[in-house]
Structure 1
């Protein structure tokens, strides 16, 4: 795979000088970031919902330049997401390191119908471990009986603690969510202590206290960091303090400590929340947070992304983004170098014998249907009969849409009773499909809320060496197959935050029917 950058930069500045970096530090849909440090290296994980391989592990030596080194859920039989719908699945992981081992806790969230789970697979909190963050990772150890989402681990000497959240039963207001904490056996990770309820938010009447992490406070004691207000414009980061890890916790009198709720819809980055903290080797502190890039006040297609802000301490209280209190698209901070230029072109010609780690698929591993060894220089997709709007094994080799202005091109060859091309997907009920079938009939269709509308059609198209293009420009796109311009389409139905859509857009190649689609290349060219 080839990555091209658009400009040259001088040698990075010393990590002790002020460096310039862009937010988000992980472009594309990378929500709920959790970070830890081991020596001079940092490791970060984000939510992946229905996509596999799941829970990508990113590594950095400077906090601003990251590479994906593996996934915590990466092999058959490790975890079953078959038939899980979009925006369910793998929620809000926490990554920690202790005594030579990496620990990752996460939740499989199942769909609910009439107040009861409507999915037959295993759901709930689980733990996986590894000595090498690139893998392999262990099979899950499941925690039963806790409910809720957003588990987190805290190690304190020989003690290990698990916390999470759960909707209050009964609640005194809509969205009241309580944070719980319990001790685990350090060998078996079975609960060994009582469950204590330690927090229900900083503001009475505020909803969705979630994403809790408990960190050791400089100077002694503990700090609970939790999101509040829901993952929308009211999202915020609040903190509380305790002398003992089990509490009682007292909220900071200045809560929330970081929020963009007062900046309005015109802010370029919105919905800031879900923080995790890390102390660098030089003693500086940093926080990773999620946020959404807006387009003229509207949510775009990219989903919730990972951002970085410096943190300082005054009188034992954290200051996020000191001096401004904002997460800006470009930040200058001590302790990091100038960030490397972002790639303008990502080109995968499938010459490698293994798929690049950026490729994922809904509900199944891409290797279920994609093979780069059968025909060198191509990725062969064996089609399935699952349509993009259905649950099942969809032969979709996709990756996160990285920018709001991205031209995506592919060249494919069809064999058999199959149609293939590009798919821009947010969910089963919101996607743009641009495909051609074996008869040379091409079409572009937009699905909004499960309702299909035809963008454009063409006939007499080639089926070998045919180019398919989706050119995204903000909240619209133009689409074409070969020399046939199929028109322009409004992409607002795919935007993040529509009902039950927590996931940003993925883009890639799809194969539907009975046959194969050979993919010569996929190229993403971004414009900023």
Structure 2
């Protein structure tokens, strides 16, 4: 038996999709504009999740998916992970590029290598799923009804899939519009066979406070589907604004080897009316009653704690991280915005991060360009590497070598290109200074500035950000002396204020003159009691 506390996968790991191969469960999550994309984990107990890689981890894949052209909270949405005849299949959509497009990736090992994306003609909409049943393969997705009976009305549609050729064929079938008339965005469909029925699980209500999970069933894959009279079968929307966990929905089911069933769903942990960590992965047991799935029987909502009857083959991932950036490939927990960070590399001295050159005016795209596509952290092009915030109370910091005076560097808490907080180190005629800055709606506001006096070239400085119920406190340490720069609330880091679908990343950035890399000797992440 393994005892767990929800969420089982904390931090920005939304839209969970799970499958089982033997005694091992595999999990995929959305990654939006971040690279590497579509993180994958494995577990033998549904509680202890070990990273195994990313399905999109090559620059060539990022180019084919046009990640460079997606806006904030665009990119890779709601994957579905399935396994059939020795092959892993991953269906997903890239949103916000030249055109929304659904694609298929395959691998024989979830650790990779994964194939280049195969785009499916006719796969309109988002949130595709794959269903293997009785020797046939099916592809279902979600799209807006045109014209809809009400705004944001969607439909779940289905066609047969040739998984080898990567194409859809045959008649299209409209399966469902969701459980509640007027509820927006029936999405995230998944199909399962159980006890002679085909069950269609879907999210609806939008991925905010009204998010929910509903289910319908049919004797045939192609329908007709009839909704459960008890819908929605999982939601926290009825709990009100004081609930600790909210926005619950977008679930996937998996049957364990012992015949038990489990659900992984997304939810958010709320503090002071908002959430900064993004949508996280939660676990719940599922029972079958009168031919319908019942989530967390006797409670009907996600539990704060629980247990599974399985044991783990892996040690839990340490909550703390002390990354000294050893020589070799950059650790996979570091994310870039819309692709790999050019020039970022490691050596015996640590991480080397260089400011990018501004794009030539002649290559600027025609028409409006999202500010964040060219300005991921600051008001000028910046190189940024981010680590997911996974705890509501945490201290994160970098140790960096005093840089060249022509660059600005520091520690950023990135919610989007237009919203975030940062502590930056810059050189002015009066000397070096550390400045705390809030960025809201694309506009920077100085929260506090402290000159740090004469500092010898090659000195190592510590820049820290501490997140707690009090807000975010920025501090700088030089030659053993620590000075607090500013204390501000964390509202700019919440989805409720910034919008979008992602959580907060923390990590180093650099902007200014190219050709002068900044050396970060270590990164520390320490959860607070």
Q: 2-side partners of 1:424 and 1:304: how far apart?
A: 17
Which residue number corresponds to residue 5 of structure 1?
none
CA deviation vs aligned residue, 1:311-369 (integer Å, no higher than 9, x gap): 11112111101121121222245446799767342110112522221111111114x23
2:498 and 2:324 map into 1 onto residues whose CA distance is: 36
* Aligned residue number for residue 345 of structure 1: 320
Unaligned runs of 5+ in 1: 1-14, 111-118
Please give the alpha-carbon distance, in whole angstroms, between the structure 2 residues aligned to 1:410 and 1:158: 53
Preserved CA contact (<8 Å) 2:246 2:269: yes
* C-alpha distance after superposition, 1:132-183 (max 9, x if no partner): 1101110000013332110000011431111110011111112211111110
* Paired residues, number: 497
Match of 1:49 in 2: 32
CA distance in 1, matches of 2:24, 2:420: 38
State which of 219, 222, 243 in structure 1 corresponds to 2:219: 243
Q: 1:396 aligns to what?
A: 384
Residues 29 and 206 (structure 1), Cα distance of their counterparts in 2 relative to 1, 3 Å cut: same
Structure 2 residue corresponding to 1:186, chosen from 156, 159, 163:
163
| 1:364 partner SS | coil
The CA distance in 1 between the partners of 2:30 and 2:213, in whole Å, is 18
SS at match of 1:391: helix
1:81 aligns with 2:67: yes
Please state whether the residue corresponding to 2:492 is helix, strand or coil: helix
Pairing partner for 1:453 from 445, 448, 463: 445
Task: Indicate whether 1:380 and 2:372 are aligned.
Answer: no
State the SS of the aligned residue for 1:191. strand
Matched, 1:497 2:482: no
Residue 264 of structure 2 is aligned to residue 288 of structure 1: yes
Whether contact under 8 Å (1:478, 1:487) holds in the other structure is yes
**Residue 400 and residue 252 in structure 1: after superposition, are their counterparts in 2 closer, same or farther (change >3 A)?**
same
**Counterparts of residues 78-477 of structure 1 (less than 5 Å):** 78-79=61-62, 80-110=66-96, 119-120=97-98, 123-217=100-194, 219-296=195-272, 298-335=273-310, 343-366=318-341, 368-373=342-347, 376-385=348-357, 390-392=372-374, 394-413=382-401, 414-415=403-404, 417-438=406-427, 439-461=431-453, 462=455, 464-474=459-469, 476-477=471-472
Distance 1:211 1:498, change over 3 A: farther
Task: State the alpha-carbon separation in 2 of the partners of residues 75 and 107 from structure 1.
Answer: 17
- State the SS of the aligned residue for 1:262: helix
Structure 1 CA distance for aligned equivalents of residues 313 and 242 of structure 2 = 27
Report if aligned partners of 1:344, 1:527 keep a CA contact under 8 Å in 2. Answer: no
Of 28, 35, 54 in structure 2, the residue corresponding to residue 71 of structure 1 is 54
- CA distance in structure 1 between the aligned counterparts of 2:498 and 2:397, rounded to whole angstroms: 30
| Change in 2 beyond 3 A, CA 1:151/1:442 | same
Q: CA deviation at 1:441?
A: 2.3
- The 1:510/1:269 distance shift into structure 2, 3 A limit, reads same
Q: How far 1:498 sits from its partner (Å)?
A: 3.5
CA deviation vs aligned residue, 1:467-507 (integer Å, no higher than 9, x gap):
10111113611101223321101220220234641111011
Give, in angstroms, the shift of residue 416 of structure 1: 5.6
Point out the more displaced range, 378-387 or 426-435: 378-387
CA distance in 1, matches of 2:358, 2:294: 49
CA contact 2:275–2:496 (8 Å) conserved in 1: no
Change (3 A) 1:525 1:107: same
**Cα distance per residue 1:187-229 (max 9 Å; x no partner):** 2121111221110010111111011001112x11200000011
CA contact (8 A) 1:300 1:475 kept: no
* Cα separation, 2, equivalents of 1:279 and 1:475: 42
Please say if residues 88 and 109 of structure 1, whose CA atoms lie closer than 8 Å, have aligned partners that are also in contact.
yes
Shift of 1:420: 1.1
Higher relative contact order, chain-length normalized (CA < 8 Å, sep 6+): 1
CA distance in 1, matches of 2:393, 2:498: 24
Cα distance between partner residues in 2 of 1:338 and 1:269: 29
| Gap regions ≥5 residues in structure 2 | 360-369, 375-380
CA distance in 1, matches of 2:491, 2:498: 13
* TM-score, normalised via structure 1 length: 0.90
Structure 1 residue aligned with 2:474: 479
